[in-house]
Every structure is written in C-alpha cells, then in structure tokens.
Structure 1
C-alpha cells in the first residue's frame, strides 16, 4: 500500500475537509524541497481568507500548505 497526500488549496476543499472532519496537517515549505511539518493534524475548526485554525492553533495561509493523507495502492 502506498500512502500519499493531497494539498488543500481552495476554500471548498478546506470546507469539505472541515465538514467531514478529516485530519488535516500543516506543512511549512522551507525551499529546495525541504518541509517542516508544524502540526501533525487535526480537524479544521475555522477558515478565514488569511488563516486556518487546526487544533486550536492558527496557521497563515500564505506561509503553510495544508494536506490530508490519501491512501492509494500500487499494483
């Protein structure tokens, strides 16, 4: 089984994730394909044009990428 992720970019994707209460995690892009996983996930609690609230913490949309795990299979 191969585990991958989907980046949530649009408001509708973020709203859908909040509605179905899927675990979303915040990733800070550091450049040169380096990332820092800042929050290992939780339910989206609030969405504004500037930020996303996950597990009681706010993340600026300009500084973070929001991802959900997607299970896939190879074969």
Structure 2
C-alpha cells in the first residue's frame, strides 16, 4: 500500500488538483495527532479561505489537504 502523500498548501497546488480531478482527503492535524475528517474527492471550488470537496466546505487554516502520490 502506498502511504506517500503531498500536502496541498498553495493556490497553485489547489488549482492543479482541481484541474486534474484527483481525490483530495481532508485531515485534522494537531500536535502529534492526526485524524481523517473526510476521504474526500475532487475539489469543486477553492478560495483563499476554504475548499469545497464533495459539497462540504473546509477552512484552509483548520485542515490539511492531501493527495496520494
């Protein structure tokens, strides 16, 4: 199983993910703990404040967004 991933952080990362329609997962990372919040899907919309995936909106400052490599 491939456990390598890329964390999306810049507008260019989100644009690339949206255009290629890759599955983006949403994670809550705090200190040394991380929890999967949503298995995700393709990015439907993004802004400087939030990302919309599969109808759900997630704040960029609160979550980590990952794509499998």
Q: TM-score, normalised by structure 2?
A: 0.93
Q: How far apart, CA to CA, are the structure 2 residues paired with 1:16 and 1:38?
A: 22
After the TM superposition, which residues 56-75 of structure 1 pair with which residues of structure 2 at under 5 Å, given as runs? Answer: 56-70=55-69
Q: Tell me the CA shift for residue 2 of structure 1.
A: 4.1
Aligned length: 69
Which of 1 and 2 has greater Rg? 1
Q: For structure 2, which runs of at least 5 residues remain unmatched after alignment?
A: none
Q: Which runs of 5+ in 1 are unaligned?
A: 71-75
Higher strand share: 1
Root-mean-square deviation (Å): 1.1
Aligned mates of 1:63, 1:35 — CA distance in 2: 12
Aligned to 2:12: 12
Q: Which runs of at least 4 in structure 1 moved beyond 6 Å after TM superposition?
A: none
